[in-house]
Structure formats: C-alpha cells, structure tokens
Amino acid sequence: MKKHLITNNQHYSTLKLPAAPRLVISGYYGFDNIGDEAVLLSMVAALRDICPEARITVLSNKPRETAEHYDVQAVNRWQLTRVYRALAGTDLLISGGGSLLQDVTGLKSLLYYLGVVWLALKLGKPVAFYSQGIGPVTSRMGRCLMRRIAGRVNLITVRDAQSARDLHEMGITGPPVRVTADPVLGLSGETINPQPGGELLFKAGIKISHNSKAGLHLDPEDMMLDKYALKQEHRPVAGISLREWPGFEKKSQQVIAGLGDELCRQGWQVVFLPFHYPADLAVCRQVAGLMKNPGIILEQKVNSVEMASVISHLNLLIAMRLHALILAAVASVPLAGISYDPKINRFLEQLGLAPVGKAAHLDYPACLAAVTNILADPDGFRTNLRQAIQPLRRQAQETAALTLNLIRNDS
C-alpha cells in the first residue's frame, strides 16, 4: 500500500503503549471486495497513525496479496495452526470492521468470526470489536453464541446506534459499547489521489474534464433533469454500483437502466462500478444490457485506493453497495442509496438522507424524482455532506484510540 496511500496524518491519542505492540486483525479480507479492503486500509492507517511501530497481522483469504498491499504480516485465515500461532503471539485481537456478526448469509460466517474471538479469549488475549455493524442475527443458535462469546470481549465499538441497540436486545451488556462510525469515514477526501481514477476512467472510455464538478449549468426554462444544459466538453459522470440480491431482478433492474438512459439523454456519461470482483460484474452487465444508451462497465479488477480515486471524479453515485456510498460521502459526491440491507438505511440516516427505494421494489417515478431533487442543487448537497461527515470522521478516527487503549502501558 505504498502508492497512492490515503492517510489521516493526525494523532488522536497520547497513549503510552508497549514497544511495537502485536495486533491481529480478523475480518472479511482477501476476497476482492473493495468495501472490506477499504475498511482494512482505513484501520491500518488509523492504528499506525497512533502507533507507527505496531506489528500488524491480518487473517486473510489471500495472505500474500494482503501483506504486500498493506505492508503488514498476513496468515491464511483457513489454516487453523497459523491462526492459532498468530493469536498466541498477539497483544490484542481486533475483530472488524464490517458486517461480520450476522447470519443473513448463513451461520457459517458468524461461526467463523466468533470462533476466532473464542480462541483468542481462550488464550487469554484481549479482544476488541472494531466499528462493526451488528446483525441481523435471527437464529436461536446465533443469538446464543453472540451472548456467550461476544458478551465476553473487552470492548465493542459499533458503526451506528442501531447496532448498539441490537447488542443490548440480544442481552450483550457486559463489555463497554461505544458508537463510533465506519472506519472508511476516517479517511480524508483531500488526500485521495485523482490520477489513478482518471486513468482508469479514460481507459474505460469515460471523458473526464479538468473541472468535472463545474460541468453543470442550470437552465431554468427546462424541467426535471432537462434543466441541465451540458457543455459537451464538460459531460458529467454518474457511477452506478450494484450487487446481486434476492428480489433485485428484472423489474427493479429496468428502473436503474431507465435512470441511466435518462442521464445519458441529458448528456451524462454512465459507468458501472463492480465493488466485489468478479461477483458484481454479472448484475452490472445485466443492467447495462437493459439500457438503450451505452453504459460503460469498469471491467478490470481495481483496489480500494483506485476505486476511491474513481469515485472522486463522479458527479453522482447511485449505489447499493455500502462502501460505494461511504467513499462518495468522503469525496463529497452527491449520492443516491438503494436499500437492500438495514446497514444502508442506517448509514443514510447518519447523513440525514433516506434511500431512493428498496432494491426489490424500485419505482421509476419515485427514483427519478429523488435523483432530480439531488441534482437540483448539487453544491448544496455537497455542503450538507461535508457537514454530516465531520462528526462521523472524528468518531471513526477515535475508534483506533479506544481500541489501543486496551493495551496501554500505565507503568
């Protein structure tokens, strides 16, 4: 992670820590999911901001790639012997961030992450949950395991207030619980390098102006999206981030395709951004194929820093993916969220926004009206985003200090 690294460059604690503390991070890493990789990037940056000499080991599906990309140690998350050795030698297990503790996708995921926590506790190691989004946990077994294992950790930080309420409702009242924010919100938009994103968009066929944010010109005589008289050399760019989800089928996909067509009709360029590679490619191709106008797909695999750079060039983002929305918010890009999971609603609520609709039941007139409303005053939308993001950024950066406080050296 030596090139185009996004860092915070601020210190939020004067903690007295052990020399070169050993930290193990457990999460959904090494699966080519840009959202989770952005979480890891943010966590490593925040932890090293406070403790530059920290020796960080990540449990990863692709340990070699993770080690090289983030300048950390990494072990194969599926090799129990290696995981055991890493935990036995650590000063602290950090579980997070992301939506690790849920059973919507089945019990296996919940069992894995709680299993790692259980092993660390068995070895007598302190454990912190790092800005996690909790739930939904609906199965009897899942909720029982949450009480028995999550209820024994040393610190829980969650990314939204509803997650804290969910923990309490499950009977997890032992560990201190702090509401902070998603780790990616700790990144600063000013430090995003625009160059790699511009190059990727250019190669994909998207033309980026030197001042793409100034490419919208209001014409009060026209209606709806027609109010934008767009200079050809300043054609704005709309990004669309989708994922496979039960119920997000042809009818809802046609709504997104219709929005893309309307934007194209008004002179916009539309690019589809797969966040989980290659899993998101299929649905992006399906929706692009439903468009009457050409929708471009960013086909190649990119990393989290490159995607943050791509998003910084957008004038609008329409997204199902949580961390697509978060990166847009960090970069002050007007955004429209599509709800498929409570975490989308929770994040939008933190920004004072609501989703444009539910993925399984999208309504074209309602979605068009929502997007039109966003674009009626894009500068005002950006200003509101910046104001909403400021306290969330402070909370996200505070998580690292709260976590490292568990291993402070008071002597």
Per-residue pLDDT averaged across 280-288, rounded?
Answer: 97
Per-chain mean pLDDT for the chain = 90
Res. 220: pLDDT tops 50: no
Res. 217: pLDDT tops 70: no
Place of tokens 């990166």: 327
DSSP-assigned letters across all residues of 38-83: HHHHHHHHHHHHH-TT-EEEEEESSHHHHHHHHTSEEEETT-HHHH
Per-residue pLDDT averaged across 89-93, rounded?
Answer: 98
Res. 24: pLDDT tops 90: yes
Task: Count, in order, helices (H) and strands (E) of the chain.
Answer: 14, 13
In tens, the pLDDT along 156-186 reads 999 999 999 999 999 999 899 999 999 999 9
pTM of the entire structure?
0.87
In tens, the pLDDT along 300-353 reads 999 999 999 999 999 999 999 999 999 999 999 999 999 999 999 999 999 999
Per-residue pLDDT averaged across 92-96, rounded?
Answer: 98
Cα–Cα distance measured from residue 8 to residue 329, given in angstroms and rounded to the nearest whole number:
16
Res. 361: pLDDT tops 50: yes
Residue 233 confidence (pLDDT): 53
Residue 216 confidence (pLDDT): 35
Map out the domains of the chain with their CATH numbers.
22-187+392-407 (3.40.50.2000), 189-389 (3.40.50.2000)
Residue 230 confidence (pLDDT): 43
Q: Find the helix or strand (DSSP H, E) in which 366 lies.
A: helix 364-376
Structure tokens at 22: 């050993």
Per-residue pLDDT averaged across 367-393, rounded?
Answer: 96
In tens, the pLDDT along 318-333 reads 999 999 999 999 999 9
Q: Which residues contact 390 (CB under 8 A, 6 or more apart)?
A: none
Among 382, 280, 364, 298, which Cα is nearest to 32's?
280
Q: What strands, in cross-sheet order, belong to the sheet with 22-26?
A: 73-76, 55-60, 22-26, 92-98, 127-132, 155-158, 177-179
In tens, the pLDDT along 34-74 reads 999 999 999 999 999 999 999 999 999 999 999 999 999 99
DSSP-assigned letters across all residues of 108-148: HHHHHHHHHHHHHHHTT--EEEEEE------SHHHHHHHHH
Structure tokens at 355: 């989703």
In tens, the pLDDT along 235-246 reads 899 999 999 999
In tens, the pLDDT along 98-120 reads 999 999 878 999 999 999 999 99
